[in-house]
Amino acid sequence: MSADITRRDVLTTAVRGTVLAVMGGGAGFLVKKANGQIVWQVDAARCVNSRLGETGVAACSLCTTECVVPLSAVRAVNEYAKCGRCNICPAYFDVTSPVDQHGYPSVKLCPRDAILRHPIGKLDPEDPANNFYEYLIDETKCDGCGKCVMQCKDPLGLGSITLRVRYDKCVNCNRCAISTACPQSAVVQLPAGHAV
Amino acid sequence: MPYRHLKAIASQFEFALTALAVDARGQLHAGGDRAVEVYDGDGRRVGRWAASRQVCSLTVAADGTVYVGEERQIEIFSGAGQIVRTLRHPKLAGRVTSLGFSGDDLLAGDTWDRAIQRFDRTGTFLNSIGKDNPVNGLLIPNGAVDFAVALNRTIFAANPGKHRVERYSPAGGLLGHCGRFDGRDPAGFTGCCNPTNVAIGGALFTTEKAGPRVKAYDFDGRLLGVLATDLFDPNCKNMDVAVSPAGAGPERVYVADTVRRTIQVFEAVNS
C-alpha cells in the first residue's frame, strides 16, 4: 500500500495542513481580538519618549498625529509609586524657560496645560521648597504628545510618566495607524491580561 | 576659569563607577561594582580589592584606612585592602551613598533616612543631620545623599530637591544654604534635582545631572566657573567628585563619568 503514496500526495497533504493551521490560528486571533482579548499597547522600553539613553532629542508625537481617535487613544499616565513629587517637575515646567519672581520656571511644558500641580499636606509659606507636590494628568486635555514623558525619564526625572493606550478610547483597529507609523515598532498587540 | 582639564582615567569597572576619594598622599581611590581601585598621581592603577556588596561610596581616613559605603553597611579596609571590620547599625537602613569624617566622628549619608548619620569611632550613633525640617530629611529624588566636610567641620550637604547646598554643624543645626533653581543661568541649578554631589577644596565643587556639569563656587555661593559639560556622557547622574589634599601640588578635581566609567581630572591653574 505504501508504494501507492506518491511524493505529490505527501506535499499536498502537508500544504493543506499548513493552510488549515494558519487559517485556524488567524481565526482564533480574530475571535480573541473581537472579544477584546488582544489589545494594542505602547511598549515603554521601545517608545523613544520613554526609552532610556535617548537624551537631547525632541519628543515623538506620532501617537497624537496618527491615531484615528479624537485627541488620540494614547494618553500620558503618571505612575505615582515612581513619582518624586518634586517641587520643580521638569514634566510640568519648561525648566529652560526664564525664572519668574518666585524662583520657578515661568513657562509650563504641556502645550495643552493638561498637568495639574497640587501641594501635598500643609504648605510651608516661608519656604516653598519644603513641600511635596502631586502631579495629576487631566486625560480630557492630554493628547499623548509625549513631551512630558521625554522630560520625566531618567536621568532628568524618574520615568514615572509613560504613554499608554486607554482602552475606553481605543477602537482596537485591525491595523493601528500609530503602530503602522511608529518607527520604533513601539505599539504592539498583547493579550489583554498582559497589558498595563 | 582657574581649572583646566588634565586627563581621563579609564577604570576597570564593568558596570558602575560610583565613588571617588583621595587619600592624604594624593592617591585616588575609586569605587564601583563590588570593588575598590587605587590609582597613583599619574593615573596608573596600583591596587584593587573586592568588597562584599556593590560599592556606593568611600572615604579614606587620615591613617589610610578605607571606609566603603554599601547597602545597609560600611566595610572598613586597611590601606592594603584587608578587611578590618564591618559596621552595621539600624541607622544605616538604606544605601550608604556618602562617607566622611568630622574630627574623629564618622559621617554616613543614608538614603533610607534621607539624612547624614553621625557615629563616633566605636560605631556608636550620635545624631542625624539634615532631618530637622518639614520634609523630614534631604530631598533626594536622584536617590543619593552626598556631602563634604570643611576643615572647620562644617558639613556641606547637597539638597538637590531644593536646588541648594546646605551647611550644617556636626550637631545637625542648619547654618545656612546657597544655590537656587535656574535653567538658564549657569550660576543656578537646573532640572528637578541638582546639585547631586559636592566636594570641598579651594572652592565648593558641585556636579549636576541632565545635562552633566561640574562647577566651582566660592564659599558664599558665588559661581567661580563651569569646569566641564561636554566631557561627560549625557546620561550621567550622581557623578561623584573628589579633591586632592591641600599642599600636594596644584589642586586636582576628580569627577566620575558614571556611564563611561572613566574619571575626568581637572587641575587648578595659577592665575
DSSP for A86-114? -SS-TTTB-TTSPB-TTSSBSSBS-TT--
The span from the CA of B240 to the CA of B255, in Å, is 6
For position B66, what pLDDT does the model report? 98
For residue A24, is pLDDT > 60?
A: yes
Here the contacts of A179-186 (C-beta below 8 Å, separation 24 or greater) are A179/A40, A180/A66, A181/A62, A181/A66, A182/A62, A182/A66, A184/A46, A184/A47, A184/A48, A184/A51, A184/A60, A185/A46, A186/A42, A186/A43, A186/A46, A186/A47, A186/A48
For position A1, what pLDDT does the model report? 44
By CA distance, what is A95's nearest residue in B? B183
Q: What is the pLDDT of residues B45-60, one digit of tens each?
A: 999 999 999 999 999 9
For position A94, what pLDDT does the model report? 97
For residue A86, is pLDDT > 60?
A: yes
For residue A3, is pLDDT > 70?
A: no
For residue A66, is pLDDT > 90?
A: yes
**From residue B257, how far is each of A142, B34, B69, B233, B262 by CA, in Å?**
37, 17, 19, 7, 5
The span from the CA of B267 to the CA of B239, in Å, is 18
Looking at the complex, report in whole angstroms how far the Cα of residue B139 sits from the nearest Cα belonging to chain A. Answer: 8
Question: Which pLDDT band holds residue A17 (cuts at 50, 70, 90)?
Answer: confident
The span from the CA of B127 to the CA of B148, in Å, is 17
Summarize the confidence of residues A91-107 as an average pLDDT.
Answer: 96
Interchain contact, B141 vs A156, CB within 8 Å: no
Range of the domain at B145: 3-268
Question: Which pLDDT band holds residue A7 (cuts at 50, 70, 90)?
Answer: confident
Mutate to test the interface with B, among A78, A88, A130 (most CBs of B within 10 A): A88
Interchain contact, A84 vs B164, CB within 8 Å: no
Chain A contact present for B236, CB below 8 A: yes
Rg (CA), chain A: 24
Mutate to test the interface with A, among B139, B177, B189, B192 (most CBs of A within 10 A): B192
The span from the CA of A13 to the CA of B19, in Å, is 67
What cell does B112 get? 533610607
For residue A26, is pLDDT > 80?
A: no
For position A8, what pLDDT does the model report? 81
Interchain contact, A86 vs B162, CB within 8 Å: no
Looking at the complex, report in whole angstroms how far the Cα of residue B170 sits from the nearest Cα belonging to chain A. Answer: 22
For residue A108, is pLDDT > 60?
A: yes
By CA distance, what is B235's nearest residue in A? A155
ipTM value: 0.91
pLDDT less than 70: residues of chain B: 1, 271
Interchain contact, B235 vs A95, CB within 8 Å: no
Number of domains observed in the structure of chain B: 1
Chain A contact present for B134, CB below 8 A: yes
For position B8, what pLDDT does the model report? 97
Looking at the complex, report in whole angstroms how far the Cα of residue A43 sits from the nearest Cα belonging to chain B. Answer: 21
Closest by CA position to A181, among listed A69, A67, A72: A67
- Return mean pLDDT, chain A: 89
Contact residues, chain A, for B184 at CB < 8 Å: 96, 98-99
Question: What is the CATH number for B68?
Answer: 2.120.10.30
Question: Which pLDDT band holds residue A113 (cuts at 50, 70, 90)?
Answer: very high
DSSP state of A25: H
By CA distance, what is B190's nearest residue in A? A95
Looking at the complex, report in whole angstroms how far the Cα of residue A83 sits from the nearest Cα belonging to chain B. Answer: 9
For residue A30, is pLDDT > 60?
A: no
Give the predicted TM-score (pTM) of the model: 0.90
